[in-house]
Amino acid sequence: MRRLTVVQLLPALNAGGVERSTLEIAQALVAAGHASHVVSAGGRLVPALEAAGSTHHALPIGAKSLATPFRVFALRRLLRTLQPDIVHARSRLPAWVALGALRGLSPRPRFITTVHGLNSPGRYSGVMTRGDAVICVSDTVRDYVQSHWPEASPRLVVIPRGVDPAAFPRHPRPDPDARAAVLAELALPDDTRLLLMPGRGTRLKGHADAIALLADLRAQGVPAALWLLGTDEPGREAYLAELRALAAARGVESVLRVSPPRSEVVRAYAASDLVLQLSRKPEAFGRTVIEALSVGVPVLGWDHGGVGEQLAALQPQGSVPLGDATALAQQARALLAAAPAAPAHIPYTLAAMQQATLETYARHAG
């Protein structure tokens, strides 16, 4: 493979799946001897990106502002200077800016997009299907794109997200050291059956369903507690107050724990009896399912989107029809009573995702 210059475009470099994928591909590019550039408004992940050998260019191409369309010219100037082989857009507004910037460039870089989410149908979202190659992060996303933008079908390539097994190593179940440390941190009794729900503090993540499940299990004599890890974020104070009020109304406020995001989550997985993935909006992939199963912890989630896809492939016992609270409580009790064997092999690896993406770049760069 000849040396490539690749420019990835996204709104900002803060927390999130899009941001993580950007850094993972940037790392793979540098490791393979390619030139890696990222254009965004910046954020807390920029130091990590640059430390790994990529170059960051600060340009707010994802800002919802009247000024953003005029940033086409700044991006075009940058692309003329860098002369990339590949321009890879990971979000809708940056993709629109990129299409404008690519006009008039000669030679024209190849335009790649990744559909990271189940975007609302229409012309605005359709920009993500205009790449020379359109990467879909799961079969769920591919099927969704084909149903709404069938003209893109010949250009679709499925490259599932993945985890590094070394970063999420298999732990004994239960892991006594992790469990003792976490229960002490959370001030919970030793006999607690810990339910872990990692994720951002947004209503679509299904926190209310998790609290209802907690109340159902407690009513049935299960000494359960619920840990919402990553939900306590700045600007979410009103939502957190709503969740605590709901827990109080159901009589489980004393066994609800809410924490800010943390970069090291393996210990949290290893200490838990059951990981919940109850997003009401279908996820494009469901990386937390893969992380938890890689560590060896059973997962319980709604059977839709990427979460349903991953559970069907790796742990069908954890899949429950969307919105069926009775089935959710029943299956939670079953998994707590007798957890299924952890998958012997996790096929969705970071290395496979990185390799497939670099092969896509090379195939289209010529």
Question: Where do runs of H (alpha helix) occur along 3-45?
Answer: 17-31
Q: Smallest Cα–Cα separation from 329: which of 208, 207, 218, 196? A: 218
Q: What is the DSSP-derived secondary structure letter of residue 163?
A: B
Q: Smallest Cα–Cα separation from 157: which of 179, 178, 173, 141? A: 141
The pair phi, psi for residue 73, each rounded to 5°, is -70, -40
CATH architecture, range 176-337: 3-Layer(aba) Sandwich (3.40)
Q: What is the pLDDT of residue 63?
A: 84
Residues across the chain:
366
Q: What is the pLDDT of residue 34?
A: 98
pTM value is 0.89
Question: Which residues of the chain fall short of a pLDDT of 70?
Answer: 1
- For residue 335, how many other CB atoms are within 10 A of its CB? 19
The pair phi, psi for residue 177, each rounded to 5°, is -65, -50
Q: What is the pLDDT of residue 278?
A: 96
Q: What is the pLDDT of residue 173?
A: 82
CATH 1.10.10.10 fits 5-162+349-365, yes or no: no
Per the CB < 8 A criterion, the answer to whether 86 and 4 are in contact is yes
Q: What is the pLDDT of residue 15?
A: 77
Q: What is the pLDDT of residue 46?
A: 96
Q: Smallest Cα–Cα separation from 228: which of 199, 267, 265, 262? A: 199
- For residue 234, say if its preceding peptide bond is cis, omega within 30 degrees of 0: no
- Please compute, for residue 220, the number of CA atoms within 13 A of its CA located in the half-sphere on the CB side: 15
For tokens 């406020």, name the residue: 253
Per the CB < 8 A criterion, the answer to whether 159 and 360 are in contact is yes
Q: What is the pLDDT of residue 150?
A: 97
**Cα separation of 66 and 70, whole Å?**
8
- For residue 107, say if its preceding peptide bond is cis, omega within 30 degrees of 0: yes
Q: What is the pLDDT of residue 203?
A: 84
Per the CB < 8 A criterion, the answer to whether 320 and 341 are in contact is no
Residue spans per domain, the chain: 5-162+349-365, 176-337
Query: Tens of pLDDT along 149-165?
Result: 999 999 999 999 999 99
Q: What is the pLDDT of residue 243?
A: 96
